[in-house]
Amino acid sequence: MAEGKIRIKLIGSVICTPQKHKNIVKSLGLHKMNRTVERPDTPGFRGMVKKVPHLLAIVGD
């Protein structure tokens, strides 16, 4: 079973957000605004994106 990839983009600033939100964004590998990373499409990564939907977007879904 081959799993796909999702592209995650940082669309909001992590300034003045709770530390938990900053940790989630950093663990996804995002450091600067409007940067995109590609991660495996697993429930774990989808859950991380759902925790901070105001900061992240899934592009090219």
Look up the CATH number of the domain holding residue 23.
3.30.1390.20
pLDDT of residue 60: 80
Domain total in the chain: 1
Q: What is the pTM of this model?
A: 0.87
Token output for 1: 């079973």
Question: Taken in order 31, 34, 40, 48, is the CA torsion positive or negative?
Answer: positive
Alpha-carbon distance of 9 to 56, in angstroms, equals 6
The range of the structural domain enclosing residue 42 comes to 5-59
List 56's β-bridge partners, or say none: 10
pLDDT at 1 over 80: no
Alpha-carbon distance of 28 to 24, in angstroms, equals 6
Q: What is the pLDDT of residues 13-28, one digit of tens each?
A: 999 999 999 999 999 9
Share of the chain above pLDDT 70, in %: 93
DSSP string, 30-49: --STT-EEEEE--HHHHHHH
